[in-house]
Amino acid sequence: MRVTVKLFARLKDLAGTGELIRDVPAPATVQTVWTSLTAEMPSLVEYERTMSVAVNAEYARMAAAVHDGDEVAFLPPVSGG
Amino acid sequence: MALAVVTRDPLDLQALTREIAEGAAGDGAVAAFTGLVRDHNQGRKVRFLEYEAYEPLALRVLGRIIEEASETWPGVRVGMHHRVGRLEIGEASIMIVAASAHRAHAFAACRYAIERVKQIVPIWKHEHFEGGEVWLEGATADPDDEKAKLTAYRIACA
């Protein structure tokens, strides 16, 4: 199955892109997508403990199920306002 | 105009205040907060900021904060506009307006809203300073974290 991955702020800079498409085996969770991503881009791993994640623009947990066509976002600590 | 907005355009406090105060016959108070881009941060001389948002989620979370405020202080109405893109020193990055029957709740809701923005809204500052640039990182966003919510409430009511 295929998911769209969105990256923001410094995670985007580290990856060199804010959006990429990943193929992951079903059944998958956010963790599956993250593991696949960091295998290819180890520099992202430093965010594992501090980032938040979202599925289809709703906050989610690493254990949340991911389905074909979903958008999975990885968000560094926020600094709005 | 919507109560929760993320925009690249300059913010307009009068328009937001009008929106909130409309039909506010029972209200005796409107409190407003405006956040500006500062020319210094942690010893660095700031040149300008670039704000980035995960827009669909940021809009939802702003809406959620507005709901939290109206649940906490019944009858309070809150509007929140956040700007993104490049902002120069002195420009407004966020405007929050809260209306209530009495001033205490209007002030508290306004303060609560900005504290929650800093905790959970997926927006980031890219600081361009003299000599470099850095992504600012504050809180790990977790809207279900009741401790964070309580902290915002305590600050609001201090």
- Select from B123, B135, B143 the Cβ nearest to the Cβ of A80: B123
Task: Give a yes or no: residue B37 inside a domain.
Answer: yes
Task: Give a yes or no: residue B158 inside a domain.
Answer: no
Q: Which residues of B touch A77 (CB under 8 A)?
A: 137-141
pLDDT computed for residue B23 by the predictor: 67
Task: Give B23-82 pLDDT, tens digit per residue.
Answer: 677 899 999 999 999 999 999 999 999 999 999 999 999 999 999 999 999 999 999 999
Task: Give a yes or no: residue B157 inside a domain.
Answer: no
Asked if the model's pLDDT at residue B95 lies above 70, the reply is yes
What is the percentage of chain B residues whose pLDDT exceeds 90? 94
Task: Give a yes or no: residue A81 inside a domain.
Answer: no
Average pLDDT over residues B137-148: 96
Task: Give a yes or no: residue A37 inside a domain.
Answer: yes
Q: Are A12 and A77 in contact (CB under 8 A)?
A: no
Asked if the model's pLDDT at residue B1 lies above 80, the reply is no
Q: Tell me the CA end-to-end span of chain A in Å, nearest whole number.
A: 37
DSSP B140: P
What rounded mean pLDDT belongs to chain B? 96
- Select from A9, A57, A81 the Cβ nearest to the Cβ of B118: A81
Task: Give a yes or no: residue B117 inside a domain.
Answer: yes
As a residue count, chain A comes to 81
Phi, psi of B145 (to 5 degrees): -75, 105
Q: Say which residue, B2 or B98, is predicted with more confidence.
A: B98
Range of the structural domain that residue A26 is part of: 2-75
**By 3-state DSSP, what share of chain B in percent is helix, strand and coil, each rounded to 5?**
35, 35, 30
Range of the structural domain that residue B9 is part of: 4-152
Cβ under 8 Å to B: A residues 19-78: 50-52, 54, 57-59, 73, 75-78
Number of folded domains that form chain B: 1
CATH of the domain at A37: 3.10.20.30
Q: Which residues of B touch A51 (CB under 8 A)?
A: 140
Ranges of residues in chain A with a pLDDT under 50 are none
Q: Which two tokens stand for residue B24?
A: 């506010």
Is the link from the previous residue into A27 a cis peptide, with omega within 30 of 0? Answer: yes
Q: Which residues of A touch B53 (CB under 8 A)?
A: 80
pLDDT computed for residue B22 by the predictor: 83
pLDDT computed for residue B97 by the predictor: 97
